[in-house]
Structure 1
Amino acid sequence: MQYVWMAIIGFIVGLVARALLPGDQKIGMIMTAVLGIAGSFIANYGGQALGWYKVGEGAGFIASVVGAIVLLVVYGMVTKASGARS
């Protein structure tokens, strides 16, 4: 059940991260949700690895938004680099 909640919060986090990130991200709603969910998972497991959260304890909303913003920036850099080659 924890993973379902992480996915739901991740979807919301992706929307918030996209709204907070300056510039125009040319990605669809589904990719925004996927990056938000991935950011939530990364914040959760990264925080556990660093000792910020205990096992079974979820990452906070702000940490999830930061993780999603990082993923959005990386995704933008990767797609810009691959678009420049073609």
Structure 2
Amino acid sequence: MGWLWAIIVGFVLGLIAKAVIPGKQHSPLWLTTIFGIIGAAVGNAVARAAGVAETRGIDWSRHVFQIVAAVIIVALGDMAYMALWGNKKRQRERA
């Protein structure tokens, strides 16, 4: 059940990150979900290091760390995706 929640949270965080980042992101949805999962894990690690991983009630600070990490990772991941695959797609479209 843990993997299912990781995928759901990663999907939601990835979509939120794509909505926050200005401009169009070209990475596919499955890759955005993976970036969101990584963002959630990094956000949890940062929250744990900051000492706010476990609080009473809803862990708002942990969620903020997760969203910020997901935005950064989705932005960097999309740039890497376009650097690796973007030119190849453009060349195929022109041919």
TM-score of the superposition, structure 2-length normalised? 0.66
Task: State the partner residue of 2:74.
Answer: 72
Which has more helix, going by share of residues? 2
Counterparts of residues 10-25 of structure 1 (less than 5 Å): 10-25=10-25
- Asked if 2 retains the 8 angstrom alpha-carbon contact of 1:13 and 1:36, the reply is yes
How many aligned positions are there?
83
Q: Looking at CA atoms only, which structure, 1 or 2, has the larger radius of gyration?
A: 2
CA distance in 1, matches of 2:65, 2:46: 10
Does structure 1 residue 53 correspond to structure 2 residue 53? yes
Deviation per CA, 1:37-72: give whole Å up to 9, x if none: 110110001211232324xx7x73332211110102
- Asked if 2 retains the 8 angstrom alpha-carbon contact of 1:13 and 1:61, the reply is no
- The aligned amino acid for 1:48 is R
Gaps of 5+ in 1: none
Q: CA deviation at 1:80?
A: 5.0
CA distance in 2, matches of 1:28, 1:76: 9
Gaps of 5+ in 2: 89-95
- The aligned amino acid for 1:37 is I
CA distance in 2, matches of 1:8, 1:51: 25
Distance 1:49 1:61, change over 3 A: closer
Distance 1:23 1:49, change over 3 A: same
Q: CA deviation at 1:79?
A: 4.0
Q: Percent identity?
A: 28
Instruction: Pick which of 72-81 and 39-48 moved more.
Output: 72-81
Secondary structure, counterpart of 2:51 in structure 1: coil
